[in-house]
Structure formats: structure tokens, C-alpha cells
């Protein structure tokens, strides 16, 4: 599959991301300081870099699990149909859970995942998203913690991809197509 040519402009620096993760982890620690173990559920694939940095900064006993869900495929627009490709392996009933999302756009994916996991009766469940696009929201949902609110731009980097490319950028970048007249 070929794509239109594009360039990437830095939107959020790696240094800004690291500083924000420190702040978020202080809030998470305050919320879960009494936990015997926090189950951190990462939504694959876009959140894997955020999860790694987040759990390294958390001063709590953590267990990491993953759920793969998507409403995008290789496209730039949400299909609004959330598909679960991989479920978590562990049990969360009666446990403290933190759901980690890379970006909340329309809100359909995170809303669907929260419904699925809530039905499994965790003791407490909170959500965190690295990025939030509130102007695109179609579902009445807000993550408990947000790293950065961003405008309606297509972004890549820090684990977030465009057709499986650019996940390895250490920053968040805005995609700018170069073939536009």
C-alpha cells in the first residue's frame, strides 16, 4: 500500500513528554497508594512506549497486561467499529486497574474497552491517555488523566503510527502531507 508523501513536524518534544509523565505518575500514585498491586492494562499497539515509561516511573507494585483494540486499521479516520484482537490474560475482578490509551479521539475505543473491563468487576478502574482530541469526541467519555490535549491533527511518534510507520519517533509529531496544491 502506498501513501501520499508527508513530512512530520514536531508537536510535543520528548522532554515535555517525560516531564508530563512524572506529573501524571504523582497523581496516579496518590490515587493508588494503598493498592497491593496495580494492574496496568495497555491498549495496543499505540500505547506501548507510553506504558513502558509510565510503569518505570510509578512507585507502586504493578502488573502489566495488554488488550489490543482498534477502530482505525491502516486508515486515518475511525471506523467507529471497535474490534478486539487480543484480550488481557489475567483476572481483574477485585483488583485495581489502570487502563492506558495512547490517544482519545472519537472515544469509541476507550469507551468500549472500559465497558468490557467494568463487567469484570475490578475494585477500582481509572483511565489515562497520553493524548486527547476533545474536538473529535463522539462519546461522552473523558479519561481520568490526560497527558496533553491536542488539536484535530493526525499525529505519529512515541508509539503512535501511521500505517505501522513512525512509532519509533521519540516525540509526538504532526503529519503534514506534501502533495497538496
The pTM for the full model equals 0.91
Which pLDDT belongs to residue 19?
A: 98
For residues 7 and 54, give the distance between their C-alpha atoms in angstroms, rounded to a whole number: 28
The number of domains in the chain is: 1
Which pLDDT belongs to residue 179?
A: 77
Any idea what the CATH number is for the domain that residue 66 is in? 3.40.50.2020
**Residue at 139 is within a domain:** yes
- CB burial class (10 A; 0-12, 13-18, 19+) of residue 134? middle
Residue with cell 489515562: 128
**Residue at 126 is within a domain:** yes
pLDDT digits (tens, 9 = 90+) for 68-88: 987 655 555 555 678 889 999
**Residue at 172 is within a domain:** no
**Residue at 102 is within a domain:** yes
**Residue at 121 is within a domain:** yes
**Residue at 147 is within a domain:** yes
pLDDT digits (tens, 9 = 90+) for 32-48: 999 999 999 999 999 99
Which pLDDT belongs to residue 35?
A: 97
Domain span including residue 33: 15-151
pLDDT digits (tens, 9 = 90+) for 142-166: 999 999 999 999 999 999 998 889 9
- Kindly state the DSSP code that residue 165 receives in the 8-state scheme: B
pLDDT digits (tens, 9 = 90+) for 101-145: 999 999 999 999 999 999 999 999 999 999 999 999 999 999 999
**Residue at 157 is within a domain:** no
**Residue at 116 is within a domain:** yes
36, 105, 132, 152: the catalytic one is: 105
Phi, psi values for residue 179, rounded to 5°: -95, 10
For residues 86 and 108, give the distance between their C-alpha atoms in angstroms, rounded to a whole number: 17
105 is annotated as an active-site residue: yes
pLDDT band at 1 (very low <50, low <70, confident <90, very high): very low
Sign of CA dihedral 100, 56, 150, 156: negative
Amino acid at each position: 500500500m502506498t501513501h501520499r508523501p508527508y513530512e512530520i513536524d514536531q508537536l510535543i518534544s520528548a522532554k515535555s513528554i517525560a516531564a508530563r509523565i512524572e506529573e501524571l505518575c504523582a497523581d496516579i500514585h496518590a490515587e493508588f497508594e494503598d493498592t497491593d498491586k496495580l494492574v496496568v492494562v495497555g491498549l495496543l499497539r499505540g500505547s506501548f512506549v507510553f506504558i513502558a515509561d509510565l510503569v518505570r516511573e510509578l512507585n507502586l507494585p504493578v502488573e502489566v497486561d495488554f488488550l489490543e483494540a482498534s477502530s482505525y486499521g491502516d486508515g486515518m479516520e475511525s471506523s467507529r467499529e471497535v474490534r478486539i484482537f487480543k484480550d488481557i490474560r489475567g483476572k481483574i475482578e477485585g483488583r485495581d486497574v489502570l487502563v492506558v490509551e495512547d490517544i482519545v479521539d472519537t472515544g469509541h475505543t476507550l469507551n468500549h474497552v472500559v465497558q468490557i473491563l467494568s463487567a469484570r468487576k475490578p475494585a477500582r478502574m481509572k483511565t489515562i491517555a497520553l493524548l486527547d482530541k476533545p474536538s473529535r469526541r463522539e462519546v461522552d467519555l473523558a479519561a481520568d488523566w490526560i497527558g496533553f490535549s491536542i488539536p484535530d491533527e493526525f499525529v505519529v511518534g512515541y508509539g503512535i503510527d501511521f500505517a505501522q510507520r513512525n512509532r519509533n519517533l521519540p516525540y509526538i509529531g504532526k503529519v503534514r502531507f506534501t502533495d497538496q496544491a
